[in-house]
Amino acid sequence: MRRGGPLFLLAFQVVAWYNNVESKFNESYFNDIGGAVMFIGREKELALLQQDYTGKALMVYGKRRVGKTTLIQKALENCQHQTVYFECLKGTLQDNINGFVQELVRAKVLPVPLSFNTLQDVFTYLNALPQKLVVVIDEYPYLKAMNDSATVDSIFQSIIDNRLSNIELILSGSHIGMMKDILQEKNALYGRFAVTIKLNELNYLDAAKFYHDKTPYDKVAHYAVFGGSPFVNQTLNPSATIRENIISTILNPVSSVYLYASQLLLSDYSVKINAERIFSVIGNGKKRYTEIEDKLDVKKTGNLSKQIKSLTELEIVSRNSPINKISDNKKATFEINDNLLRFYFTFVYKNASALQVLGAEAFYDEYVGPALTDFISRRFEGICRDYFSLQIRSGKLKGIRNIGSYYYDDPVHRKNGEFDVALELADGYAIYEAKYYAQPMTLDEIHREAQQVADIKELAVNRLGFIAINGFVEQEKPYIYLDGNDLFADA
């Protein structure tokens, strides 16, 4: 193919477009609401980072595009001390020393590039300056990956212990496994951090602030598909429908969201190929280990177990057990944590050629539209569990020991399954049935669900409730009723 051909031009346009979008999103994840720019969520983390930690080290970590850099930059906006931000290079120690020095010159901490042989020497120099500094070392795992990991940690142990009298040091990173390793007792940096922040995706309430004018029904749909990544949610058009937003992002091969789901999320992981196969099997559901093993048709060598263990440690896959079967390995299932990734592997991954042939709109109508409500319904159950978790954390709900699903056997009707939302109480369980219906839930539907719960004789139900996103036609005692307005009351 000649270099100037149409495919080369398309590839060039994709890369250029993505780089432009990525650079903008890396600057911030602020949302323009009512003409005023506001920072979405992260109140507790922001308050922590805004304190003065001169002479100490902090650690911030979380997966890619979760908003670590933006949080740090927001925290330092009104900092009284001089700040320096350096993103580690995928290179040698000397490459990083040289890059760090260049950043110090750009920040006017150094008048000209000086020559240093070690990072310790750089910090010795900085520590002798009269002014206080806040130094951010971002993507710390890049430095560890390209050099001896233990040596790099030992270098920073020495820096933290001896060269921070006038410096606040923030180490940040996206590789969750490596950053977690730093917190282990065997690591040289163990116990060296005054504050450790693990940044998760925004919860469904905070994510909804990106599309705050939508109905609860549509808010659930957007969160179920796009999840809580600020990077992803900033790409959405808050006035567009779920169909329009899906077509313009995750079904658009030149969209940063498509690239994020198809490439970037797994770019750091050595298990990428096998991970994609595992994700394809799990899709929108939850699978037991034996089901994954059978679907992949892999030999029982233990390799699959190691791969799933790695994905679980990286928190990209979660291992879940019903609330009443915590120690029963046979009942444990695996799910994809990230909603957007789950959508991608449910609809796009196996049908990528059809997307290319049909185009986004026809692909949506053929592959996504008919199954989207079912996809959202399964994610709605998780939102309902998150609702109760947030109620407990805020102190509005007490006496709850655990939250999850409840596994049941119904020998009379020869079936088994799980109830969507179960709250473990001191004297039994509170069971809630979650329904993502386009219309209000009817009394007949309530009666059928209540009878299904009553059929499980082993289950001590303290209270029974229903969560219907669009409310109820009518209500009767003694059941508890929650609707979409209740779920988003604190948004």
**Structural domain contains residue 362:** no
Residue 21 to residues 63, 106, 442, Cα–Cα distance (Å): 19, 24, 46
The string over 117-148, giving b where at least 16 C-beta atoms fall within 10 Å of a residue's C-beta and e elsewhere, is: eebeebbebbbeeeebbbbbbbbbbbbbebbe
- The answer to whether residue 412 sits within a structural domain is yes
Tokens of 160: 């933290």
Average pLDDT for 373-388: 96
Distance of alpha carbon 25 from alpha carbon 183, whole angstroms: 29
What type of residue sits at position 251?
A: L
Helices (H) and strands (E) in the chain, counts: 22, 14
Q: What is the pLDDT of residue 262?
A: 85
Per-residue model confidence as pLDDT tens digits over 329-370: 899 999 999 999 999 999 999 999 999 999 999 999 999 999
- Among 12-21, 201-210, 409-418, top mean pLDDT goes to 201-210
**pLDDT at res. 272:** 58
Please name which of 229, 180, 171 lies closest in space to residue 200, comparing C-alpha atoms. Answer: 229
pLDDT at residue 10 in the model: 37
Cα 208 from Cα 135, distance rounded (Å) = 33
pLDDT per position as a tens digit, 72-109: 999 999 899 999 999 999 999 999 999 999 999 999 99
- The most distant pair of C-alpha atoms in the chain lies apart, rounded to whole Å, by 81
Given a cut of 60, is residue 181 above it in pLDDT?
yes
Half-sphere exposure of 449 (CA within 13 A, CB side): 20
Instruction: Select from 138, 164, 198 the last residue of a domain.
Output: 198
Write down which residue in 156, 175, 198 finishes a domain.
Answer: 198
pLDDT at 32: 39
* Best CA proximity match to 431, nearest among 396, 407, 397, 399: 407
Residue 400 lies in a domain: yes
Give the per-residue pLDDT at 269: 56
**pLDDT of amino acid 39:** 67
Question: In this predicted structure, what is the pLDDT of residue 13?
Answer: 40
431 strand-pairing partners? 422, 464
What domain count does the chain have? 2
38 DSSP β-pair partners: 31
pLDDT, residue 349, reads 92
User: Is 316 inside any structural domain?
Assistant: no
Residues spanned by the domain of 403 = 382-487
Query: Please, which pLDDT band fits residue 458 given cuts at 50, 70 and 90?
Result: confident
Please check whether residue 350 lies inside any domain of the structure: no
Burial class (CB in 10 A: 0-12, 13-18, 19+), 111: exposed
Say what percent of the chain tops pLDDT 90: 73
**Domain boundary at 173, 198, 223, which?**
198
The mean of the pLDDT values for the chain is 88
Q: Is the pLDDT of residue 23 over 70?
A: no
- The residue with greater pLDDT, 309 or 252, is 252
Cβ–Cβ < 8 Å for 490, 460: no
CATH of the domain at 133: 3.40.50.300
Asked whether residue 334 is assigned to any structural domain, the reply reads no
Residue 450 sits in a domain whose CATH number is: 3.40.1350.10
By DSSP bridging, strand 317-320 and strand 333-336 are: antiparallel
